[in-house]
Amino acid sequence: MTKKRLRRLNWFYVPAVVLMLVFIAYPLFNAVYLSFFKWNGYSVDKEFIGIANYISMFEDKVFRSSLRNTLIYGFVCTLLQQVIGLALALFLNMKFKGRGIVRTVIYMPAMVSGLVMGYIMYFFFQTKGGVMNDILNAFAGTSYDWLGNSTAAIGVIVFVNTWQFVGVSMVIYLAGIQGVSQSYLEAATVDGAGPWQRFRYITLPLLHPALASSVIYNLIGGLKLYDVIIAMTDGGPAKRTHSLATYIANRYFDAERAGYAAAIGVFSFVMIMVISMIVNAYFRKTEVKY
């Protein structure tokens, strides 16, 4: 096609770019700008305070625990989802009747909003009348305050998010496993490789692209975790289960510290960006070509 024609073709992406400029790029710059102000979020005047918001972040205990929790939600969930997801994929790749039903059911929770899933799980982990305590009561005669203790509550949130989205990893790994050519495996069998060796030296390296996709998907999902926390603990007890995402919303609307919320937002934006870039670069470096 002619050069002129190609240049005219560029008009085609103008609407998309304009939409993203107005609703993403401009707000992003706006957020950075506001992070240098002391502002309650609605009044006309705001006071320029330089990087004071960023400094107070590191003196804020709740910020530090939210940061730690965000990393836990991100990395622990991702790790669990890879291990369990891969195990499920390997299991459900075996031949037996009804494995299709098992796959269907495991992926199903991904269809449900995180908020609703949080509420469903609240029915399980509620102290009074929760299903978990009913079971505990029946077997051990005691009950446990799952969501009243921050360590346990963080564990519960990690469990719920992992449980809900492990199906996604499973599906990605299954697609990867199905893409491994049978001829490689047969050749290895002929050469005397056992099942473990076949998995370790053939299937696993060939799953690299699946691993990369699944890790990035889960990592971003975990680092931005929001609705499950809102539904289950709303950041409590004593603000100890907040993620950065829920804490931003909390500072902005409940504490009316918009400038401070913006600063936390900018921080977590940069953090997620850097983490994904490092992880991406790592996977690109370790990629094997066949």
Partner 1 sequence: MKKPKMQERGTVLYQEEKEKMPLRLKDWWKYLLGLGLVFLYLFPFYVIINVSLKEFGDTSSRMQFPDPVYWGNFQKVIEAGDIFVGIRNSVIITFFVLLLEIVVGCMAAYALARNQSKVNEIVRSLIMSVMMITPLTILVGVYSTMSKIHATSTYWGMVLLLSAFGLPMVIFLYTNFISSIPVALDEAAAIDGASNFQIFFRVILPQLKSVTVTVIILQGVGVWNEYTYSYYFLQKTEMRTITLVIKTFFSAVSNDYGSAAATAVIGMLPLIVLYLFLQKYFIQGQVDSAIKS
Residues 94-123 that bind partner 1 (CB under 8 A): 94-102, 104-117, 119-123
What DSSP string runs through 20-48? HIIIIIHHHHHHHHHTTEE--SSSS--EE
From candidates 131, 187, 255, 278, binder to partner 1 by CB under 8 A: 131
Q: Should residue 29 be labelled a site residue for partner 1 when binding is judged by CB under 8 A?
A: yes
Q: Should residue 15 be labelled a site residue for partner 1 when binding is judged by CB under 8 A?
A: yes
From candidates 185, 220, 237, 256, binder to partner 1 by CB under 8 A: 220
Q: Should residue 72 be labelled a site residue for partner 1 when binding is judged by CB under 8 A?
A: no
Q: Should residue 66 be labelled a site residue for partner 1 when binding is judged by CB under 8 A?
A: no
Q: Should residue 249 be labelled a site residue for partner 1 when binding is judged by CB under 8 A?
A: yes
From candidates 62, 149, 217, 236, binder to partner 1 by CB under 8 A: 217
Cβ atoms of 148 and 126 within 8 Å: the answer is no
Q: How far apart are CA 137 and CA 160, in angstroms?
A: 22
Q: Which stretch binds partner 1 (CB under 8 A): 56-64, 140-148, 151-159, 166-174?
A: 166-174
Other C-beta atoms closer than 10 Å to the C-beta of 226 total 17
Which has the closest alpha carbon to 74: 172, 164, 146, 161?
Answer: 161
Write out the two tokens for 129.
Answer: 């009348």
Q: For residue 228, how far is the Cα from the chain centroid?
A: 11
Write out the two tokens for 85.
Answer: 């997801």
Q: Should residue 207 be labelled a site residue for partner 1 when binding is judged by CB under 8 A?
A: no
Q: Should residue 193 be labelled a site residue for partner 1 when binding is judged by CB under 8 A?
A: no
Q: Should residue 89 be labelled a site residue for partner 1 when binding is judged by CB under 8 A?
A: no
From candidates 226, 236, 237, 256, binder to partner 1 by CB under 8 A: 226
Q: Should residue 140 be labelled a site residue for partner 1 when binding is judged by CB under 8 A?
A: no
Closer CB to partner 1, 45 or 191, in the complex? 45
Instruction: Report the nearest approach of partner 1 to the CB of residue 191 (Å).
Output: 25
Q: How far apart are CA 97 and CA 105, in angstroms?
A: 15
Cβ atoms of 176 and 210 within 8 Å: the answer is yes
Q: Should residue 278 be labelled a site residue for partner 1 when binding is judged by CB under 8 A?
A: no
Q: Should residue 62 be labelled a site residue for partner 1 when binding is judged by CB under 8 A?
A: no
Q: Should residue 141 be labelled a site residue for partner 1 when binding is judged by CB under 8 A?
A: no
Q: What contacts 24+ positions apart, CB below 8 Å, involve 263-269?
A: 263/35, 263/53, 263/54, 263/57, 264/57, 264/63, 265/31, 265/35, 266/31, 266/32, 266/35, 267/54, 267/57, 268/70, 268/223, 268/244, 269/28, 269/31
Q: How far apart are CA 113 and CA 226, in angstroms?
A: 11
Closer CB to partner 1, 83 or 273, in the complex? 273
From candidates 77, 89, 171, 229, binder to partner 1 by CB under 8 A: 171
From candidates 175, 185, 193, 202, binder to partner 1 by CB under 8 A: 175
Q: Which stretch binds partner 1 (CB under 8 A): 12-20, 55-63, 74-82, 146-154?
A: 12-20
Residue 121: phi and psi, rounded to 5, are -70, -25
